[in-house]
Amino acid sequence: MSAQRSRSLRVLIWGLAAAWLAAGSSLWAQTVPPHNHVVIVAFENHSYEASNNGVVGLSSAPYMNSTLIPSYGLADQFYPNAHGSMSEYFYMLEGTPYCTTSGTVHCGGNPTNLVADADSLIREVITAGKTWKQYTDSLPSRGFIVEEPDWIAGSNPAGHYYSRHAPAIFLSDVRQGTPPDQAVDCTGEPNGYDAVKQACNVVNFEDAASGFQADLDAGRLPNFSLVIPNGCNDAHDCGVSSADAWLQANIDPLLRSSYFQPGGDGLLIIWWDEGSLSGASGTCASSAGEDDRASATSCGGGGRTALIVAAPDAAPGFHSQTYYQQPSVTRTIANALGIGVPPAAASATPMADFFTTPTSNIAPWQETDIGA
């Protein structure tokens, strides 16, 4: 083969490779790969940057900053939709803070007489014949779905339990007619998923029989796990260092399990409900403040928070620059599980870029003569 023809073939191969990568990247970026075990861990009231009462770069959060963020994916442009814990939990589960089918009831504050009947991830999980649990730190007892006006002293371990941080208890699909001031008796119910008494899937995180570690050890994690640390461990009432230590003690074993090894089907999302309204340097209108930003250039939202994504097929050390809000989390979880997307999140952008190896990380095409 002549030198000129060889060079022409190399140019053609380079061109085809570039076109393939561009097309493949574009197509792949629209798709969240299947994950049959999705876990989301909820934290409270801290912004993205350590300088704004946040977590990224915070020396007192070494597990997050030295292990999780370098090893997994981080959303650099995640902006919760508003302030107010409960509304953000519903945004995450439903894609909207209006949690009734009427579309007029804004679910926030500390409700004590609420039945949320709008479509949610948990309804879609149940409809699809899949399984779920809410693992709630310091929950007084399994099936405790009483709607409390404020925190109560929980147990196992002792700590502040906030019903407004435990969104599953408000859902009509979970309550199944139980009045808001009553719990459900789960005596004799199976330790794993309960398809009959849905309220019995609201369990104490630490419970030796039905809790998170028990299910992890038994290889029976549900398809969708909603993990709710107590008021100290979620950094609501204590510092980020407490949340960081809790993560390392309780979630690191999950990441070491078979669900998160090569070939595993686990997906972990570490999520903050909203940015901090205290300790931020400046207001949203200033370049320094981000406490109530809706984006990098607008105000009136829930601030900017960190969001960490871990999975066997996620790009390690990836920093997403895509703008996301809560409904993208809703849709990402639904797409990963292969269930219906709650209508309020149907138009949200799925967080597919976390599962795409950036083109810059792909080994350069090797130039080779074809023939001689």
pLDDT digits (tens, 9 = 90+) for 81-116: 998 999 999 999 999 999 888 888 888 888 999 999
Q: Measure the CA–CA gap between 174 and 226, rounded to whole angstroms.
A: 14
pLDDT grade for 297, boundaries at 50, 70 and 90: confident
Span 35-49, mean pLDDT? 95
d(C-alpha 93, C-alpha 71), whole Å: 26
- Are 91 and 305 a contacting pair, CB within 8 Å? no
CATH topology of domain 34-361: Alkaline Phosphatase, subunit A (3.40.720)
Q: DSSP letter string over 296-364? A: SS-BSS---B-EEEE-TTSPTT-EE-S-B-HHHHHHHHHHHHT-PPPGGGTTSPP-GGGGS--GGGSPP
- Radius of gyration over alpha carbons of the chain, in Å? 22
Q: Which residues of 67-86 are buried (b: 16+ CB within 10 A; e: fewer)?
A: ebbeebbbbbbbbbbbbbbb
CA distance 68 to 308: 8
The predicted pLDDT at position 8 comes to: 42
Q: How confident is the model at residue 21 (pLDDT cuts 50, 70, 90)?
A: very low
* Domain-wise residue ranges, the chain: 1-30, 34-361
pLDDT at 24: 40
Q: What is the pLDDT of residue 283?
A: 60
For residues 306-321, average pLDDT: 96
pTM for this model (two decimals) = 0.87
Query: What is the pLDDT of the chain when averaged over all its residues?
Result: 87
Predicted confidence (pLDDT) per residue in 231-283, tens digit: 999 999 999 999 999 999 999 999 999 999 999 999 999 999 999 865 444 56
Q: How are beta strands 132-136 and 152-154 bridged, if at all?
A: unpaired
Q: Give the whole-number percent of the chain exceeding pLDDT 90.
A: 73
- Among the residue ranges 26-35, 76-85, 182-191, the one predicted with the least confidence is 26-35
pLDDT at 169 over 90: yes
DSSP calls for 273-294 = SS--SSS-SS-TTSSS--TTBS
* Ordered strands of the 37-43 beta sheet: 202-204, 132-136, 224-228, 37-43, 266-272, 307-310, 73-75, 319-320
Alpha helices, H only, the chain: 3-28, 62, 69-71, 85-94, 121-127, 172-175, 212-217, 240-250, 252-255, 326-337
| Helix or strand (DSSP H, E) at 224 | strand 224-228
